Structure 1
């Protein structure tokens, strides 16, 4: 009997095509991190140049996050109709064009609009690359490879921070947006020539020549060709959202949404405001930018470590531990201001907060059955992003009324601790 595609992928060693797919998706998430964080690293320079206050900058940050929510919930699903590769190409082009045009923006309104557009591309890119990676990774290594691809996000943020520290003080903030936009355009050929379309997309949609296209990919993976297309490989998703709130899933769904909302709010408050807040403590602009870089460098190691620890401790306990430590560090942040350990603590915050945050994606993927897992994950991210929209805007208001860095950190420690507790007590038998 002919093996299914799933059995072929799960039963053999990874091929060059799969490694290439993971690498390209990793690079695309590096671009994601670059395009999200470039505004944060340039915020002080923009505020100084345009004479704008923290409330207006908060709206700029939030507009990008609102775009990410729209992109993840409403643009990315079109990948099921046009293919994952095409959607990744569209996302990269949208990111590159909007980020590049930002360099020539003249008003806050233009900046808000362009950040919203780039956010749509960023949100769609994240969802599309994670999906494509999951569909090419064997089950036994799926969690690792998806986490690896997502870890490209903080890598991009680190690269942007290092470049910004040298470029912004010397050449101005607009040059950073030119560089970030060009990076996306340069990667378009990388996507087109190296990235393979998802086999599962061909099997689900079965466009003209699908069997030939599938066998061409299987050949590159050194797998046996299919004799014919299966009648059903993946069922079409027509599950209404209320499935997430039926008797079995209502409690874990609401708990997950609440935890993600709070974690998103805290994370994006820190991502958006760390450079400017640390500058307010007396650090130079360059060192303030490096604070954001250290935060995201810690995130890369935190994401990888969380995946390793979760496989031994269980995902609920690991996420709760990471988020709980984050809350304690934020609540006691005042102790470290002015000391030599400040940058180390910021890196540790990146390690624990982003490690725990990415763990919530794993929680979402495990709670729901295959029949509506995509719907569950998409809505969890969408609801969580509302917290990401509110967090930076609230931070702008709090800074605007004169609260100190330590006071802001103490306020935002509350939701992240609550997110950890909610995750620990999440009512699902599918989690340990």
Structure 2
């Protein structure tokens, strides 16, 4: 029974309009994800300049290119449990300052070894920041807008990567490759300072960890003055296992274990697809007879579809979210298979690659919102972070998958058919999650 005058924080968020205070939280989290996208892609933008200036081979550059991926996985795995124990704001601010400082320091690297170490540290910060931004945003959203707003925030990642490409093309000829890393470092440090100064702690975290009522009241007062009328604030978790101990104990508890494994599977398979195609499509299309320029331009259509995540978020808030994202992965499997059958027709190939990019990037970008809705407060940051951390292994696997298929002399149709299977596996995993007893997303 709820005490007289006590207010449930989620009901409070649901009943009040989305205020400038919440838009500020959205803007800061969006900037973090946008800068995450910029810094993750930055090394690819400067790679040709490194080869030219330092006289190194492509093979020698491989550790530098992959170092951030390992850092991303490590950062996500470490940060989730820390966030569920120490707070969203602390981990988010520290991780943002870390990846900014390491990226800025990278601008002064004098060797590949030093650059690889700094890229690994940058990756740790990036891997920790992203899931905590998702968690913080989701915990200040009303139920009916959570998926759409979280997905909209996640659109910052492809926009940051694309924006970084345009900036790099302009900056490198004028100021050199180091300027790109310096910008990618200074901007997150400034955002991190703003987070420390103005971003509140999640009210759901404060209640879950026994935080003072006045801290919750102060945050909610910035949404509505009606918070002053509440005698107390409570949090009702309509999920089993909400009272378990650590974040890991929650996500690995019997009610959540199946859903956890299925989320990991879906995110892993999504990144297998993404990195397989991002890394290898230009070469595959060139081998299929396209000119180098056309192969690059067609492949560049693939990552443009991430902004479709806003539409998926709208659907997820109104229908069964698992079914919506599973449908996206099923369409991904069909469209990727179609890429392998369209290589002989340039116009058709461009259309199919673009469609595949829309459905694949949209489905993948929707998984963090799906995970945030699945877990209770005590395990939310850990659940989102470990899904993203485990999924990074799929990115590493995807980088090697196509090379192995080519070694086994698979043709272009066969290669895309194998990659398409990952989309089908992700779709099935989400349908299995939908049947989980803990699931009400």
TM-score exceeds 0.5: yes
How many positions carry a matched residue from both structures? 427
Q: Which residue of 2 aligns with 1:386?
A: 393
Deviates more, 1:315-324 or 1:32-41: 315-324
Q: Which residue of 2 aligns with 1:315?
A: 321
Q: Which residue of 2 aligns with 1:356?
A: 363
User: 1:214-363, aligned counterparts within 5 Å?
Assistant: 214-223=216-225, 224-225=227-228, 238-239=245-246, 241=248, 249-271=256-278, 282-283=291-292, 288=296, 292=300, 294-301=301-308, 303-311=309-317, 314-334=320-340, 335-336=342-343, 339-340=346-347, 345-363=352-370
Q: Give 1:141 shift.
A: 1.8
Q: Does 1:421 align with 2:428?
A: yes
Is 1:259–1:422's contact at 8 Å kept on the other side of the alignment? yes
Q: What's the Cα RMSD here? A: 3.8
Is 1:61–1:392's contact at 8 Å kept on the other side of the alignment? no
Q: Give 1:38 shift.
A: 1.5
Q: Give 1:299 shift.
A: 0.9
2:224 match: secondary structure: coil
- Unpaired runs of 5+ residues, structure 2, are none
Change in 2 beyond 3 A, CA 1:87/1:398: same
Change in 2 beyond 3 A, CA 1:266/1:175: same
2:346 match: secondary structure: coil
Is 1:29–1:153's contact at 8 Å kept on the other side of the alignment? yes
Q: Give 1:400 shift.
A: 9.5
Q: Give 1:171 shift.
A: 5.1
Is 2:302–2:353's contact at 8 Å kept on the other side of the alignment? yes
Q: Give 1:261 shift.
A: 1.7
1:136 match: secondary structure: coil
Encode CA deviations 1:288-340: one digit per residue, 9 max, x unaligned.
Answer: 48954x44431112x11222344566334432332233333333435347835
Is 1:63–1:112's contact at 8 Å kept on the other side of the alignment? yes
TM-score by length of 1: 0.82
Q: Give 1:212 shift.
A: 4.2
Q: Give 1:352 shift.
A: 1.1
Change in 2 beyond 3 A, CA 1:82/1:251: closer
Change in 2 beyond 3 A, CA 1:414/1:420: same
Whole-Å separation in 2 of the counterparts to 1:413 and 1:53 = 32
User: 1:372-383, aligned counterparts within 5 Å?
Assistant: 372-383=379-390
User: 1:99-110, aligned counterparts within 5 Å?
Assistant: 99-110=103-114
Change in 2 beyond 3 A, CA 1:315/1:197: closer
2:10 match: secondary structure: helix
Whole-Å separation in 1 of the counterparts to 2:383 and 2:14 = 24
Change in 2 beyond 3 A, CA 1:397/1:167: farther
Whole-Å separation in 2 of the counterparts to 1:341 and 1:186 = 45
Is 2:103–2:118's contact at 8 Å kept on the other side of the alignment? yes
Q: Which residue of 2 aligns with 1:30?
A: 34
User: 1:145-224, aligned counterparts within 5 Å?
Assistant: 145-168=149-172, 172-205=176-209, 210-223=212-225, 224=227
